[in-house]
Every structure is written in structure tokens, then in C-alpha cells.
Structure 1
């Protein structure tokens, strides 16, 4: 199939767009229409739920999983062929997450991200192509280039890694009392390389298919990573491992399974060679966990229980229900109402054996803390981080995520002390599919809903939109009221954390959240309804704080470029009666745009298209075609 690559990028990135990679992309391009159809069906389900006020339900046990020959009941009973867990995934006590590239940086600087990751001592590192990877200019290609250089141990990477090892030890010696890297060359072999491709709902910014339609980012990401690295990974005795995000249904999982089968066939790998974790980030997915396992079959090795995306998904799925209102985001921990029920379903799903007696892995959620701040602030936050890890280990997780390399040696000892490689096969009750189970997955419990919580939501949402526009989809942020307070640590935020903040604000505004606390500063009393006017007052005040902030927290140049656009997006999102399905859509259509007037027109175009046609705008609006690749 003919593909069009924009702006001579094929010539600029010949090491990424290799002949073998381009051939594979052409071979897999027919999946583009299938993915677009699946996403249209996803959006229709969402629209129907909101129009008819329907809750998500479990599948008919006698039906077939779409795209497969597996009956739903067989999937629930474990009557399907799953995967043996490969040796390098048997112990994944700590997986780090983060991108392999930096915005607007030369290779020697950008690739430092990979060096920190592979020298961190993490059992695995999920190099992100999705929520934490900036997409301005050609960052997705820089990400692929850096990973290839590192996996192939190119001299450019090795030179950087040697320098980074020394820097890491300079930090660890006073903080931990020891070096954390004693043999940097050998340490590079310790961490399992894992790549998170973008979800089915996103389009690649650089390639279009024969019809001129933006190629699904999932096709591009998975293909470029696997084709460019599978031989080097296998030569090193490493598995080829992907994380798959934002899957909502077993039918969508079947699309991924067929895509991976086709990719394996294209490059001569046995079916099931590519292994995948799936992030359980969607409410609908928790209704179909065993069905998703069955649909991914021999590729599937485990689930991850992320926090932020899942909260957003529940909020979005229940947008029609006036009685469903989330409290302050700080209250929605993994032990809160619907979150603990979600986690419980995941652990039961992975510990249900397939027909060959194989279990799956459960990787626990994200630890967003960064140990930088006052001694008291760091101590308190690290205690909280360790306590969270201990809870997940007790509940049955085989490991967890951290968002910064400095957290690896703080959290990993929780699993080291226990000493078990994993918790495969730990006994839990089989999943059930009752009305009570469904109710538990949307269970709201009493918790604070107050002005302090609203300010936190507004401030971080604005800062995140601003960071995104600068190419920093992973950013260390905290509410503006705590700038300069080293007792309050910065948290690593990515796309999902920005999204849920606007989603909760939308709920509070459109469903009339009732505040639970008095607030002298705004003269609001407990019992006050959170109104659009109150939101506008808070957003004006929080925006002013960001304009006055030092460059450490808000780059001066952004205050007249990306920050005003972030404000416009936040206001349109939260005040619109038609709730946008994805915050990232509004950000993506403004990537590389610094003109507020242009941004306003694009945002309005998106919202009009959504309201009138029921469609999202997902392609790169600045795409400039060059000669096609055939």
C-alpha cells in the first residue's frame, strides 16, 4: 500500500524509516480502516450511553468475542490458550516509566533519558510512546531513534551512559549512602526493555495511507519499535515486549492481536513471540477482563492497574448520571470505592488459569513522587510511597511502577524483602458477573469536595496543558499555591493526570457538586453548589498565579504562547455541555501552534465537528505531504 510521509522525514530519519520498517508499515496499513471502524464504534457506544443514560454492562456469556472464535463463557472459564511468562518477565518488582526522548534536544542530550532508565536498577522500563512522550516536531521519531541506539549499544549511547552512571552515583551516595551503579556496562543488561505504543484512538502525525487518511499511531509505533529492534533484542536474550494502552473492549483487543500476528508474520517471527501487558485504564475493560485475556491469547502476559486514566474513564462513562460526582482527586486512591473494586477484579482475572494452567502477571500502579524537596517533605512522601507499595504487594501485585529513576531503590526493597519473583497463581475467588459487581465498579463514597481541591484541579490542569504544548507530556508539577514550599513535593504528571482534572471539573460544574467545607478566602460555605461562575473565578485567580510564577515553575516564554492556549482549552472543555471524549484531542490539534487565534478556531472546529457529526478530529492539521513511499 502507498504511504505518504510528511516533510522529507523519510530522508531525515533513514535509521527509523528503514526499508524493512517501511515494508512492514505498508503491509500493515490495511489495518488502518479496521482501527478507524473500531474507534467509530467506540464513540457511538459512548454517545448512545449518554443519550439513553445507559450503564456499561457485562457481555452475554453465550456470545462470541468480536473478531475471535472464542465464546465469552469459555474466556471466563479460562478455556483459551494463553502465554507462558518468559524468563525476563518472571521478576518485575519495579518497572520505571518515561519517554526515551526530550523536546528540542540533540541526540546526546535526549538519549540521557534512556541511560537513566537502564542504569536505574529497575527490573523493567516502559519506554513511553504515548501519555508521557511529547509529540511536538518529530519527538515520536526521536524516541524511536534513541531506543534503537540504546538497544543496539551504539557508541553514542555508551558514551552518554558512562557519564550518566557517574551522575547517578553522585546523587545516591549522600541520599542512600552507597553507589547504585557499580559496573555501568553490565548494569545496562539488567533492565528489561518494554515499549508502550500509542492507543488505537490516536493518529500518527507523520504518515498517511493511500486514501490520505492519517495512519493509526498504534500501527506506526508497534511496527517501528519491533522491526528496528527485534533482532538485537533476541540476540541479547531479551523478550520483545509492548504495553498496550486505552483498550476498552475484547473486540479492540482482538484487533491488536491480529495486528501483532500480522507483524510477526511479516518479519518471520513465530506467532505469540511479541508479548504484551495491557493497561486496564477503561471502565468497559473491567467488565471484560477474561475476554480481553482470551482475545490477546499467546501474546498476553499481564495487566497493569493505573490510577489516573481509569478515574477519567469512569467519570466519562458516567457523565450522563447527575448523581455520579467524584470528590477531590486526592481522595480517589486505590482503596477508594470503585478503585478498590477495579483492582480486585484485575487480581482475580490474572490468577484464573488458562486451559494449560498458565496464570498472568499483575503490575501495580504508579508511584508519582520524586524525592526532591525538603528533608521533611521527602521523608513523608517516601514513607507514603513505601506504604503504598507494601499494600499492593500484600494484595497480590508482582510489582509496581515508578515515574522517576530515583524511586527505584526506595520502593524495590518492598519486594526484595519478600523475595518471591512474582505472585502468579495466588488464590483469589473467580470473577463473578452480577449486578452487585457492576455497581461496585462505579461506587462513589463520601469524601471532601472543596475549594482547595478545585484549585488543585485547575492549577495542575492549566500547567499540564502548558507543558504539553512545549513537548513535555511528562512534567513535574504541583499546584501554584505550593510553589516555593519544599515540604510539598512535585509529582510526575502525564497526559492522564491532566485529563482527569478537567473531567472532574466538568462533573462539578455540570452536575452541581456540593462543597463539603467552608472556604473563608472565597466566602463559600459548606453546601454551596459549584457553579460555572465559581469555576471562572477560580480559574482566573489560578491563571494569574501562573503568570506571576518564576521560570522554575512556568517558563517565561510560555506565558504568552502555550499557556493562553492551555487556558482556552481548559475553559472550552469544562464549560461545554458536550463533554469532549479526550482532552488530548484538543491539545494535539494545537501541537506546534503558538497563535491563540489559530488555536481558538481549531478548538471550535473540533467541538462543532463533535456536536454536529459525532466525529473527532485526530489527524495532524499541519500535515504537508511530500513524495509518497510505495
Structure 2
């Protein structure tokens, strides 16, 4: 590999030759020049963020008379649909329920790890987004295990089929007890029901196993795109399946244009037609909501739809408004999809997808995540499932063509909401065209009165700590709930991923640095309505919630983590919430401590990150354990 421009760390080339095939290595080489462009755009992103803070500047709409950066498309043409998209492929026209989750498990042998893929493809979901980002652990070689498992499943290799048969029997046993009937009639035909979708890592992340020969870290987005598409495009085409990606964390149409260029370059290299790779875009960033039509236009023939994810989006609003002392979120439980800025965000997305391009093509809107899992007391499950169904019914009424679920057990609970309507999708449903007024801009940061309580702060802290701990253990998707509800089966565990951990700390950062006032008396702390959330209050709650985790049983907090990854999670929470300059990404502090259980090393790495951010305005994103 020495003559190549990309270095694979350690002996992973030998261990993962089925993933790092000659065809993949060739694709990586031809895409390597884009690495510098990704880095440049991430520098631009950070500068915009710094400028907002320094100039106390709000995000606004683009000038309609200008071109979308990185394209020859005028902003005003994008907004009016004067760009070329493509019709929705047949296997994406009905996506009533999409499941989400990783295709691998941490520290698990292949036969156990690949069960994740079997559960997904036997679930009855119309599509399954196999996550390479927020829900996929990155300890060890999990990103490569994810790619390997997907390749084995898509190619229907014997090891996968053997596991799938076993998993089908177990799923039927559960569904017979829960629904009164088996849901899987014949497992091999059931495997072909679900469209495989892959979520690549965002442009802000670097791969842990690849590096440029000159020492530069390598874009995780390019790595994921090259490995997934190159390894699977032929098998997917032969089965008549679309090659579909979810693209996360896009903030601007310029970033979408770069994605478009990279994808088109890979398509040309592999002999695919332009636009054969299809993409959904997760609208997870406030800035993207100001540029929805521009993003659609920039992705052109690749674009099929948007997804309205709740957690990342809330965090992005908090982050974009970190400079404004008057912008303070309430308890996380109050920020649903009908709350203030969330309501306006969702409305802009549905209007954007139902604006036709110049050939009359509309796009899809996939609703947000249902994090509930039907495991708990009879009353707890009943209440939570009724709430989940109501949420799905609301999104269907509002125009969504489908919804996400975070666990396979939720598929047949949510699916009937769309089955009753019987329509494949809601493409082209009539909504008012998008407008770009000052009132529209203000609506995207609209706060509404809601509780801000010590109970809410405890919930934020407890789950934030637990999430950081789970991440260090290799589980970026974990079933969690606040420590005060451990043992209470009426309160269900929710599937939490990176975004849900991050927003909890962002809200705590707001409360501390903006002097949030508590809206209710709290007998445990003695605080009363109108008291300020201070560092003293934060420290008290942090100690108490941390102690609860130390004293929790192994089911809720692994005993082995209590003197390894949990203390590191506490340190990260403490630094993230207390730093005056808000750290751009919670995941940054977690990533630089992957595979590390030494608190002193963690403290040194965290200090390095903070120092570089403050002195140079740069993030530390590379794998600090990278060895040649």
C-alpha cells in the first residue's frame, strides 16, 4: 500500500480484505482528492459558526439573485423548481415504516453481530436505514464490521441465511405472544421485502482506519460511500433494488453540492448512470431549513426525499443560537414536533418536497423517529404505544409518507397507521409554496412557554451521562432512561443515539451560561420558581446523578464501566457544559476517547481539544490511536 495515497492502519487490510477489496481500494484512490474539499468546507462551517457568535448574527435565507455555491444553479431557480430531479424509484415509492439501527454489535463474533441485519430485514419494515453514524458504535473495527455484515446480507451469503433462519423463529415467538400471530411466513422471501438503505457518516467526521499518506485525516463520508456502494452496487442492481443512502448533518446547499459531486464521481468510476445512487437527506441542521429547495436542486438527480429528525435538529437550533442570551430551551420533554420552531421546521420540509421540479417530480417526506420499545409493564407499554400511534397519525395527517422506528418490535405497531390509508405515499399533496420572509426566518427559532425544571435537568444529566458511557462501551444506540426510573417498568426505556445525548448537554449548556430561570419549586434542592440555574446547582446535580449510576445494578449500568468509561463520560459532560465557548460536537470529545479507559489520558485529550478549539478555532477529529 506504500505507493498509494491512502494508508490503512495496522493490519486491517489483511483482516478485512473482503471489505477493502481491490475495487474498493481503487474507488478510494479516485475519491481521495475530494478529501481536501471536505476539509475546506468544514473550515468554512466553523468560520460561519464563529462569525455568528462574534457578530451575534442570526441565520438567514440566501440571496435569490446569487448562485448556489459550488453549482451554476441560481437560488431563485432552485426555489421555483427550475432544476432537474428524477422520479421516485419503485422500491422507494412505499416507505410507510423505515427502521433504523446499526448492522453490527460491539465485541461480538460474526454470527452474533450479523443478527442485527437479520432482525432488520425480517422486521416487515419497508426500508431499513443501516446506520454508519449516530447509532453505530465506533470502538475497535465496528465501522468495518458494519460494512462486512451488510455485504454478507446483501449478497445472501450462507452465514447470513443461517442466522436469519434462527432469528426469524425468535421474532415469530415474540410476535405470537405480543400480536397473537406469527408475522414471518417464510423467512427467505421476507428478506426481500425491505429496501436496504445506508446512512453514511457526516462530513464533519473522520474515518478511524484510513489516513492520507501525507498524514491528513481522511473523511468518513468518503470512506463510507466508497465501501458501501462499491461492495454492493452490483448485487443490489441484480435484485432490482435501488442503491440508497441517507446523508446526515448537511448544513448548506454548498455542502449538498459537494456530496453530489463526490457521488457522481463514484458513479462514473463504477459505470453507473448519473443519479443511479439515490439519497435522502436528514434535515438535522437549522441552517439547512433555510435552504431546503437549494439542497434539493444541488443534489439533482440523486435526491429522493427529506427526513425530519427531532433530536439532531433541536441540538442544531441550540448550537446556532448559542450566542443569544435570550434563547433558552425548556425541558427536552416539551420540545415535540408541534412546539414552536419544530412546528415551523416540519412545515417547511413538507412544502419543500411538494414543490415540483421542472419535470414535475415531487420528493418524499419521511417522518421522524419513534424511540419507544414495547418492553415494560402492561400499563407502561400500553400508554407508550398509544402515544407512538398518535404521533404517527399526526405525521400522516400532516403529509408524511412514512415514519422511522428505532426498534424492529415497533414496525407492526406503527405500520397500520399508513395501511389504513392505503396510499403508497403523499407525493404532490398540495401545500402553500415556500416563502422567504423575515417572519418565516423568525418562525424557525420560535420559542414557546414551557417548563424548565430541576426534574428536567436531572433527566438531561442522567441520560447524557449514560449515553457517554454507552458510547465508550461501543453502543452508540442504547436503551436508556433517567436513573430515578430504574426499576419502574411503567416508564419505558427509549432508544437513544448520539443526537439524543448531544441535545441534553446542549440544553444544560444553555441553562448554565444564559442564566436560565427555573419555572417550578423543587423540594429536593430547595430552589424555587425564578431561581437561576447556576454552576453550583449543576455541580450538585452532576454529583447526585453520577452517584445514582455508580449505585445502579448491572442491568442499567454495566459494573465494568463504573471505573472505566463512566468516569470519562462524567469528565466530558462536565467540560462540555461548563466551557464558555460551546463545543461544536459532543461526539468529538467521545471520538477522541474511543478504546480508552484511562481517565488521565482522557483528560489530556479533552484539554488538547479545548486548547486547539480556543486558540486556533479548529477541532481535533483524527483517531489519536492511529498507528502505521
- CA distance in 1 between counterparts of 2:215 and 2:232 reads 28
In the alignment, does 2:566 pair up with 1:563? Answer: yes
In the alignment, does 2:275 pair up with 1:263? Answer: no
Q: 1:524 aligns with which of 524, 527, 530?
A: 527
- CA distance in 2 between counterparts of 1:488 and 1:359 reads 40
- The alpha carbon displacement at 1:279 in A equals 0.1
- The alpha carbon displacement at 1:552 in A equals 0.2
- The alpha carbon displacement at 1:211 in A equals 2.0
Report the counterpart of residue 312 of structure 2 in structure 1: 309
Q: 2:207 aligns with which of 204, 218, 230?
A: 204
- CA distance in 2 between counterparts of 1:152 and 1:208 reads 29
Aligned to 1:523, the other structure's residue is in SS state coil
Report the counterpart of residue 613 of structure 1 in structure 2: 616
Aligned to 2:147, the other structure's residue is in SS state helix
Where in structure 2 are the equivalents of 1:364-443 lying within 5 Å? 364-443=367-446
- CA distance in 2 between counterparts of 1:566 and 1:83 reads 45
What TM-score do you get using the length of structure 1 for normalisation? 0.99
- CA distance in 2 between counterparts of 1:368 and 1:217 reads 26
Report the counterpart of residue 187 of structure 1 in structure 2: 190
Report the counterpart of residue 29 of structure 1 in structure 2: 32
Aligned to 1:211, the other structure's residue is in SS state coil
In the alignment, does 2:284 pair up with 1:281? Answer: yes
- CA distance in 2 between counterparts of 1:29 and 1:94 reads 36
Aligned to 1:132, the other structure's residue is in SS state coil
- CA distance in 2 between counterparts of 1:201 and 1:159 reads 38
After superposition, give the CA deviation of every residue in 1:127-178 in whole Å (9 maximum; x if it has no partner): 0000000000000000000000000000000000000000001101111011
Report the counterpart of residue 147 of structure 1 in structure 2: 150
- CA distance in 2 between counterparts of 1:219 and 1:174 reads 44
Report the counterpart of residue 460 of structure 2 in structure 1: 457
In the alignment, does 2:126 pair up with 1:118? Answer: no
Report the counterpart of residue 350 of structure 1 in structure 2: 353
In the alignment, does 2:342 pair up with 1:339? Answer: yes
- The alpha carbon displacement at 1:373 in A equals 0.1
- CA distance in 1 between counterparts of 2:107 and 2:216 reads 27
- CA distance in 1 between counterparts of 2:508 and 2:534 reads 10
Report the counterpart of residue 628 of structure 1 in structure 2: none
What TM-score do you get using the length of structure 2 for normalisation? 0.99
In the alignment, does 2:168 pair up with 1:165? Answer: yes
Structure 1 unmatched ranges of 5 or more: 626-630
- CA distance in 2 between counterparts of 1:578 and 1:516 reads 26
Structure 2 unmatched ranges of 5 or more: none
- CA distance in 2 between counterparts of 1:149 and 1:394 reads 39
Q: 1:588 aligns with which of 586, 591, 597?
A: 591
Aligned to 1:182, the other structure's residue is in SS state coil
- CA distance in 2 between counterparts of 1:573 and 1:610 reads 12
Where in structure 2 are the equivalents of 1:80-91 lying within 5 Å? 80-91=83-94
- The alpha carbon displacement at 1:8 in A equals 1.1
Q: 1:133 aligns with which of 126, 133, 136?
A: 136
- The alpha carbon displacement at 1:210 in A equals 2.9
Report the counterpart of residue 516 of structure 2 in structure 1: 513
- The alpha carbon displacement at 1:58 in A equals 0.3
Report the counterpart of residue 70 of structure 1 in structure 2: 73
- The alpha carbon displacement at 1:44 in A equals 0.2
Give the number of aligned pairs.
Answer: 625
CA RMSD of aligned residues (A): 0.4
- CA distance in 2 between counterparts of 1:177 and 1:213 reads 56
- The alpha carbon displacement at 1:84 in A equals 1.1
- CA distance in 2 between counterparts of 1:419 and 1:113 reads 29
- CA distance in 1 between counterparts of 2:344 and 2:433 reads 14
- CA distance in 1 between counterparts of 2:499 and 2:19 reads 28
- CA distance in 2 between counterparts of 1:72 and 1:418 reads 36
Report the counterpart of residue 8 of structure 1 in structure 2: 11
- CA distance in 2 between counterparts of 1:89 and 1:211 reads 41
Report the counterpart of residue 239 of structure 1 in structure 2: 242
- CA distance in 1 between counterparts of 2:50 and 2:224 reads 29
After superposition, give the CA deviation of every residue in 1:415-452 in whole Å (9 maximum; x if it has no partner): 00000000000000110000000000000000000010
Report the counterpart of residue 549 of structure 1 in structure 2: 552
- The alpha carbon displacement at 1:83 in A equals 1.8
After superposition, give the CA deviation of every residue in 1:35-67 in whole Å (9 maximum; x if it has no partner): 000000000000000011000010000000011
Report the counterpart of residue 109 of structure 1 in structure 2: 112
In the alignment, does 2:476 pair up with 1:473? Answer: yes
Report the counterpart of residue 541 of structure 2 in structure 1: 538
After superposition, give the CA deviation of every residue in 1:481-532 in whole Å (9 maximum; x if it has no partner): 0000000000000000000000000000000111011111111101111001
- CA distance in 2 between counterparts of 1:25 and 1:362 reads 32
In the alignment, does 2:325 pair up with 1:322? Answer: yes
- CA distance in 2 between counterparts of 1:420 and 1:210 reads 52
- CA distance in 1 between counterparts of 2:390 and 2:550 reads 37
- CA distance in 2 between counterparts of 1:355 and 1:562 reads 53
- The alpha carbon displacement at 1:88 in A equals 0.1
Aligned to 1:193, the other structure's residue is in SS state strand
4+ aligned runs moved over 4 Å, structure 1: none
